A and B are shown apart, each in its own frame.
Chain A
Amino acid sequence: MSAPESPRTASPATAGAVAELRSVTKWYGPVIGVNDLDLTIGPGITGLLGPNGAGKTTLIKLLAGLLHPSLGKVTVSGRSAASSAAKEHIGYCPDVDAFYEEMSGRRFVRTMARLHGMSKSEAKERAEIALAEVGMTDRADRRLRGYSKGMRQRIKLAQALVHDPAMLIVDEPLNGVDPVGRRELMELFRGFRDRGKAVLVSSHILHEMDALAERVIFMGRGRILASGTLAEIREMLDEHPLHVRLRSSQARELAAQLIRWEDVKGIELRDEEEFSLEVRRPDAFFQRLGDFVVAESIDVSALETTDASAEAVFDYIMSSAARA
């Protein structure tokens, strides 16, 4: 895999960067947490993926100002992430399941708003807006200790949203949330993005990252292994040709034509109407295929990639990293 440019940009425009890491290294005694990271996070939803111990939580805590880098610099909205000025711009939803248990959800969110310097009336208003966004308005008067895991997750998100930050950092937000709730939370993140904000989501649920994240950052052994859109990263994986499944009434004829193409590495005929291909340079291939089927009036009833999902890309990157 070719190394992405440095500094890596997880946003289309560095100029609109919300957070930046410059040559950041973090040591925990003799153990390295993250190693020489260069990263820019801009508006939009960015997924943070990697196995346990990859350095995701360290990266998140550095951005939230909870850890200080051993080397390098972390800035949020142009200010050091550890400064109180930067924390105005960050909404952090930690993965830890701890609350002021004796409080109700509503009071907890209002308390967090007050701790961000809001007046009583402003805190009340913003807390209601945040609770409405996470769908907890009707259930926020119960004590936190009686909440289900999904409800607690929503309240944590509400406290992160309450001061309307420029960047939302969420650590494993979909854990313990039912499928309906997950869809609602994903809609919430998209709504936040639509307002021009940045969202950094760390998650192990890879297939939901497909639907949610516009850009992903793959981490391993404290380093960024790849970052960009899934399609961009997939294209960089030269040693793993893209698997494409194609269904057509003229499968044999089409396969015979395609095998001569330079970008097609191999073809496997499954039955009379279906075959699969291994493709290099997917963008060029799909452009040429589109032109070809139109020109030749070939009937294609199904065309899908089988290993371009976040999960498949994750597996390829991890296996490449293991060999490196």
Chain B
Amino acid sequence: MPAELAGYREWSGKTRSPWRASWSIVRTGVLMILRRWVFWLLIGLGLLNFLLNFALIYLKATLTIQNEAVGQFLDAYKVTGTGEAYADFMEGQATITALLLAFAGANLVGSDYRQGGMIYYLSRRIERRHYIVGKLMSVGAVVTMIATLPTIALFIEYGVLSSSLDYFFENGRILVGILGYGLVLAVVQSLLLFAIASWVHRAVPLVMCWLGVFVLLRLLADTARAISDDRRWLLLGIWENMDRVGSWCFGAGNPDKTPSVGLCLTVLVGLCIICLIVIVRRVRAIEVVT
């Protein structure tokens, strides 16, 4: 029977760029995560740090009006409002992000392997790169929600609780720093998580790998440095590398410290390239039946 008689007709609409599909993947992924109450529990725990900083900024603004010495005291410790303070806050948030990503990795990436979601996605009119970008952006969106957006909120709070808008004009570098640090966290963590989750799809081994990367590599780096008395061994600590590069975005941190920011950045870029290669090799719309 001709297709027309069966009720089929040619698609008359216009198909849009496949990059739009990446956006759909991001939206679907983020909504999938937002529907889980565990995510909100983790967000809630993650917000403890945010609330503490939020309260500190408020206290500082209030106390400074009553007693200027208190404000000077807090400024001396760089508790709020400075690049260092925001970098410290983001480092703390990034730790919580690692927990969230252990959860998100199994749901956003691992489940696509285990439950055939990847075949579903790749049978559409998109290519591998659109799928990969979509998934990376989903993970990046989670990182942004936990680390970057709360920091921007603190930045705005600090500015609006001051006596004029000068804080915003004088501290443009801080905003660049927040976005830069957020970008480093989002890019590195999303690539690393995708690469790991493409090998270990299930939550338990994924969590073990993820923790191993961040905890044991740091320990190995410290030990190796102690043996050889060479600080370049610290480059093995991915977390510290991200913090070094992120702090540099704020203009904070000691530029003469070894390993240099350039070396840290090189290690991170190299890691990202390796992760990307792994991801490209692991994303295939093939169902293997053994």
Contacts and interface: CB of A to CB of B under 8 A. Distances in A.
Interface of A: 143, 145-146
B66 interface: no
Contacts of B290: 143, 145-146
Contacts of B286: none
Instruction: Say whether chain B's binding surface is mostly helix, strand, loop, or mixed.
Output: loop
Nearest to B288: A145
B5 interface: no
Interface in B246-290: 289-290
A179 B48 CA distance: 61
Nearest to A146: B290
Interface residues of B, number: 2
A145 B289 CA distance: 7
A145 B290 CA distance: 7
Contacts of B289: 145-146
A143 B290 CA distance: 8
Instruction: Say whether chain A's binding surface is mostly helix, strand, loop, or mixed.
Output: helix
5 contacts: A143-B290, A145-B289, A145-B290, A146-B289, A146-B290
Closest 5 CB pairs of A and B: A146-B290, A145-B290, A146-B289, A143-B290, A145-B289
Contacts of A146: 289-290
A146 B289 CA distance: 6
Interface string B161-202: 000000000000000000000000000000000000000000
A122 B289 CA distance: 33
Nearest to A142: B290
Nearest to A145: B290
A145 B288 CA distance: 10
B90 to A, nearest CB: 40
Interface string B79-121: 0000000000000000000000000000000000000000000
Contacts of A145: 289-290
A146 B290 CA distance: 5
Interface in B60-79: none
B153 to A, nearest CB: 35
B31 to A, nearest CB: 22
A149 to B, nearest CB: 12
Nearest to A148: B289
A143 B289 CA distance: 11
A265 to B, nearest CB: 37
Nearest to B289: A146
A317 to B, nearest CB: 30
